[in-house]
Structure 1
Amino acid sequence: MSIDEGLYSWIQEALAPLGSVSLRRMMGGATLYLDGIIFAILHDDTLWLKADAETDALWDEAGCERFSMTFKDGRVGTMDYRRAPADVYDDADALQHWSRLAVEAGTRGTAKRKPRKRKGGVAGQV
Protein backbone atom coordinates (compact mmCIF):
# COMPACT_ATOMS: atom_id res chain seq x y z
CA MET A 1 0.00 0.00 0.00
CA SER A 2 1.07 3.54 -0.50
CA ILE A 3 0.03 6.99 0.55
CA ASP A 4 -1.61 9.62 -1.61
CA GLU A 5 1.27 12.01 -2.35
CA GLY A 6 -1.17 14.70 -3.56
CA LEU A 7 -3.01 14.55 -0.24
CA TYR A 8 0.26 14.82 1.65
CA SER A 9 1.22 17.90 -0.39
CA TRP A 10 -2.19 19.46 0.31
CA ILE A 11 -1.77 18.86 4.06
CA GLN A 12 1.70 20.45 4.04
CA GLU A 13 0.42 23.48 2.14
CA ALA A 14 -2.77 23.95 4.17
CA LEU A 15 -1.02 23.56 7.52
CA ALA A 16 2.00 25.74 6.68
CA PRO A 17 0.61 28.59 8.85
CA LEU A 18 0.66 26.21 11.85
CA GLY A 19 4.13 24.76 11.30
CA SER A 20 6.13 22.24 9.34
CA VAL A 21 4.50 18.91 8.43
CA SER A 22 6.78 15.91 8.05
CA LEU A 23 6.13 12.25 7.35
CA ARG A 24 7.52 8.89 8.43
CA ARG A 25 6.49 5.89 6.33
CA MET A 26 5.45 2.80 8.21
CA MET A 27 3.18 -0.25 7.89
CA GLY A 28 1.83 0.63 4.45
CA GLY A 29 1.00 4.18 5.45
CA ALA A 30 2.66 7.12 7.12
CA THR A 31 2.71 8.94 10.43
CA LEU A 32 2.44 12.72 10.15
CA TYR A 33 4.15 15.17 12.48
CA LEU A 34 3.53 18.88 12.94
CA ASP A 35 6.71 20.46 14.27
CA GLY A 36 7.72 17.07 15.67
CA ILE A 37 4.39 16.19 17.32
CA ILE A 38 2.49 13.16 16.01
CA PHE A 39 -0.93 14.35 14.91
CA ALA A 40 -2.14 12.08 12.11
CA ILE A 41 -1.70 9.01 9.97
CA LEU A 42 -2.19 8.66 6.25
CA HIS A 43 -3.40 5.35 4.95
CA ASP A 44 -4.06 5.12 1.21
CA ASP A 45 -6.17 8.19 0.46
CA THR A 46 -7.51 8.71 3.98
CA LEU A 47 -6.38 11.10 6.70
CA TRP A 48 -6.83 9.94 10.30
CA LEU A 49 -6.32 12.58 13.01
CA LYS A 50 -5.14 11.95 16.58
CA ALA A 51 -7.87 11.93 19.22
CA ASP A 52 -8.06 11.27 22.94
CA ALA A 53 -10.59 11.16 25.78
CA GLU A 54 -10.71 14.97 25.91
CA THR A 55 -11.68 15.32 22.25
CA ASP A 56 -13.67 12.12 21.63
CA ALA A 57 -17.03 13.90 22.07
CA LEU A 58 -16.12 16.44 19.35
CA TRP A 59 -15.12 13.68 16.94
CA ASP A 60 -18.30 11.73 17.75
CA GLU A 61 -20.45 14.82 17.17
CA ALA A 62 -18.81 15.29 13.76
CA GLY A 63 -19.47 11.63 12.89
CA CYS A 64 -15.79 10.74 12.60
CA GLU A 65 -15.28 7.01 13.02
CA ARG A 66 -12.43 5.54 15.04
CA PHE A 67 -9.49 3.93 13.19
CA SER A 68 -9.73 0.14 13.38
CA MET A 69 -7.89 -2.82 11.95
CA THR A 70 -8.63 -6.52 11.76
CA PHE A 71 -5.84 -8.87 12.76
CA LYS A 72 -5.10 -12.22 11.11
CA ASP A 73 -6.80 -14.05 13.99
CA GLY A 74 -10.03 -12.07 13.45
CA ARG A 75 -9.66 -9.71 16.41
CA VAL A 76 -10.46 -6.06 15.77
CA GLY A 77 -8.27 -3.40 17.31
CA THR A 78 -8.72 0.35 17.45
CA MET A 79 -6.34 3.26 17.79
CA ASP A 80 -6.87 6.82 19.02
CA TYR A 81 -7.24 8.26 15.53
CA ARG A 82 -10.42 9.47 13.86
CA ARG A 83 -11.31 9.69 10.17
CA ALA A 84 -10.99 13.33 9.17
CA PRO A 85 -14.24 15.12 8.29
CA ALA A 86 -14.83 15.36 4.54
CA ASP A 87 -14.36 19.14 4.39
CA VAL A 88 -10.67 18.95 5.38
CA TYR A 89 -9.81 17.69 1.89
CA ASP A 90 -10.70 21.02 0.26
CA ASP A 91 -10.94 23.59 3.08
CA ALA A 92 -7.68 24.73 4.66
CA ASP A 93 -9.48 26.36 7.61
CA ALA A 94 -11.28 23.10 8.42
CA LEU A 95 -8.03 21.12 8.15
CA GLN A 96 -6.31 23.61 10.46
CA HIS A 97 -9.15 23.43 13.00
CA TRP A 98 -9.18 19.64 13.23
CA SER A 99 -5.40 19.40 13.07
CA ARG A 100 -5.06 21.76 16.04
CA LEU A 101 -7.24 19.36 18.06
CA ALA A 102 -5.11 16.45 16.89
CA VAL A 103 -1.85 18.21 17.82
CA GLU A 104 -3.26 18.98 21.27
CA ALA A 105 -4.17 15.29 21.70
CA GLY A 106 -0.70 14.29 20.50
CA THR A 107 0.90 16.68 22.96
CA ARG A 108 -1.19 15.35 25.85
CA GLY A 109 -0.30 11.78 24.86
CA THR A 110 3.40 12.59 24.89
CA ALA A 111 3.13 14.32 28.28
CA LYS A 112 1.43 11.26 29.83
CA ARG A 113 4.23 8.86 28.91
CA LYS A 114 6.69 8.01 31.62
CA PRO A 115 10.34 8.68 30.81
CA ARG A 116 12.30 5.60 29.76
CA LYS A 117 14.62 4.11 32.31
CA ARG A 118 18.21 4.28 31.24
CA LYS A 119 20.28 1.13 31.16
CA GLY A 120 23.26 1.39 33.43
CA GLY A 121 24.00 4.44 35.50
CA VAL A 122 25.28 7.88 34.89
CA ALA A 123 29.03 8.32 35.41
CA GLY A 124 29.75 9.43 38.94
CA GLN A 125 26.37 8.24 40.25
CA VAL A 126 26.41 6.06 43.35
Structure 2
Amino acid sequence: MAVSDEQIAFVHDLFEGVGPLTTRKMFGGLGIYADGVIFALVMSEGQLRLKGAGDMVKAFDAEGWDRWTYTRKGGAASSMPYWTMPEHLLDDPEDASAWARRALAAL
Protein backbone atom coordinates (compact mmCIF):
# COMPACT_ATOMS: atom_id res chain seq x y z
CA MET A 1 0.00 0.00 0.00
CA ALA A 2 1.43 3.37 -1.00
CA VAL A 3 1.34 6.36 1.33
CA SER A 4 -1.55 8.69 0.50
CA ASP A 5 -1.64 12.47 0.34
CA GLU A 6 -3.98 12.33 3.36
CA GLN A 7 -1.37 10.43 5.39
CA ILE A 8 1.28 12.98 4.45
CA ALA A 9 -1.01 15.85 5.53
CA PHE A 10 -1.74 13.99 8.79
CA VAL A 11 2.00 13.70 9.55
CA HIS A 12 2.50 17.42 8.95
CA ASP A 13 -0.42 18.23 11.28
CA LEU A 14 0.65 15.73 13.95
CA PHE A 15 4.24 17.00 14.08
CA GLU A 16 3.44 20.69 13.59
CA GLY A 17 5.19 21.47 16.89
CA VAL A 18 8.49 20.02 15.61
CA GLY A 19 8.96 22.73 12.99
CA PRO A 20 9.19 22.60 9.22
CA LEU A 21 9.12 19.03 7.94
CA THR A 22 10.06 17.38 4.71
CA THR A 23 8.94 13.96 3.62
CA ARG A 24 10.18 11.42 1.13
CA LYS A 25 8.31 8.41 -0.17
CA MET A 26 10.41 5.27 0.11
CA PHE A 27 9.75 1.52 -0.07
CA GLY A 28 5.99 2.07 -0.07
CA GLY A 29 6.26 4.15 3.11
CA LEU A 30 7.34 7.65 4.05
CA GLY A 31 10.46 9.12 5.65
CA ILE A 32 9.82 12.18 7.87
CA TYR A 33 12.61 14.71 8.30
CA ALA A 34 13.31 17.84 10.35
CA ASP A 35 16.30 19.92 9.24
CA GLY A 36 17.37 17.07 6.96
CA VAL A 37 17.40 14.47 9.78
CA ILE A 38 15.05 11.51 9.52
CA PHE A 39 13.22 11.01 12.81
CA ALA A 40 10.12 9.05 11.87
CA LEU A 41 8.65 6.67 9.32
CA VAL A 42 5.20 5.82 8.09
CA MET A 43 5.37 2.17 7.16
CA SER A 44 3.66 0.83 4.06
CA GLU A 45 1.10 -0.83 6.38
CA GLY A 46 0.36 2.58 7.96
CA GLN A 47 2.19 2.36 11.32
CA LEU A 48 3.93 5.54 12.44
CA ARG A 49 7.33 4.93 14.06
CA LEU A 50 9.79 7.26 15.80
CA LYS A 51 13.52 6.73 15.58
CA GLY A 52 15.31 5.99 18.83
CA ALA A 53 18.92 6.50 19.83
CA GLY A 54 20.76 7.09 23.10
CA ASP A 55 18.44 7.68 26.06
CA MET A 56 15.36 7.43 23.86
CA VAL A 57 15.82 3.68 23.51
CA LYS A 58 15.27 3.32 27.25
CA ALA A 59 12.42 5.85 27.21
CA PHE A 60 10.53 4.03 24.45
CA ASP A 61 11.08 0.67 26.12
CA ALA A 62 9.99 2.03 29.52
CA GLU A 63 6.76 3.30 27.95
CA GLY A 64 6.14 -0.10 26.37
CA TRP A 65 6.46 1.03 22.76
CA ASP A 66 6.92 -1.81 20.24
CA ARG A 67 10.26 -1.92 18.46
CA TRP A 68 10.34 -2.69 14.75
CA THR A 69 11.63 -6.23 14.43
CA TYR A 70 11.66 -8.62 11.53
CA THR A 71 12.99 -12.03 10.56
CA ARG A 72 15.78 -12.22 7.99
CA LYS A 73 16.10 -14.89 5.38
CA GLY A 74 17.40 -17.93 7.20
CA GLY A 75 15.36 -17.16 10.31
CA ALA A 76 17.64 -14.72 12.19
CA ALA A 77 15.77 -12.04 14.15
CA SER A 78 16.76 -8.43 13.60
CA SER A 79 15.55 -5.05 14.83
CA MET A 80 15.60 -1.51 13.52
CA PRO A 81 15.98 1.67 15.61
CA TYR A 82 12.29 2.62 15.26
CA TRP A 83 9.38 2.23 17.71
CA THR A 84 5.66 2.28 16.90
CA MET A 85 3.90 5.32 18.33
CA PRO A 86 1.01 4.41 20.63
CA GLU A 87 -2.51 5.10 19.36
CA HIS A 88 -3.24 7.81 21.95
CA LEU A 89 -0.41 9.98 20.58
CA LEU A 90 -1.89 9.89 17.09
CA ASP A 91 -4.74 12.07 18.42
CA ASP A 92 -2.50 14.45 20.36
CA PRO A 93 -0.24 16.67 18.21
CA GLU A 94 1.22 18.42 21.28
CA ASP A 95 2.42 15.21 22.95
CA ALA A 96 3.39 13.59 19.63
CA SER A 97 5.54 16.61 18.79
CA ALA A 98 7.10 16.56 22.25
CA TRP A 99 8.12 12.90 21.77
CA ALA A 100 9.43 13.69 18.30
CA ARG A 101 11.53 16.62 19.60
CA ARG A 102 13.01 14.34 22.29
CA ALA A 103 13.78 11.69 19.68
CA LEU A 104 15.44 14.28 17.42
CA ALA A 105 17.53 15.63 20.29
CA ALA A 106 18.91 12.13 20.94
CA LEU A 107 19.95 11.52 17.32
Q: Which TM-score band (shorter chain)?
A: 0.7 to 0.9
The structure with more radius of gyration: 1
- Unmatched segments (≥5 aa) in structure 2: none
CA distance in 2, matches of 1:84, 1:56: 13
* Greater RCO (CA < 8 Å, at least 6 residues apart): 2
> Residue in 2 aligned with 1:90?
91
CA contact (8 A) 1:41 1:47 kept: yes
1:114 corresponds to which residue?
Answer: none
Name the % identity.
28
1:28 CA drift (Å) = 2.4
Q: Whose helix fraction is larger, Structure 1's or Structure 2's?
A: 2
Task: Indicate the residue corresponding to 1:62 in structure 2.
Answer: 63
1:88 and 1:3 map into 2 onto residues whose CA distance is 20
C-alpha contact (below 8 Å) 2:17/2:98 kept by paired residues: no
Matched residues, number: 106
Distance change in 2, residues 1:2/1:69 (3 Å): farther
Consecutive unaligned residues of structure 1, counting only runs of 5 or more, are 107-126
Deviations 1:24-60 (A, max 9, x none): 1222222110232110111021111010131122111
Partner of 1:39: 39
What is the RMSD computed on CA atoms of the aligned residues? 1.8
2:18 partner SS: coil
Query: Structure 1 length normalisation: TM-score?
Result: 0.73
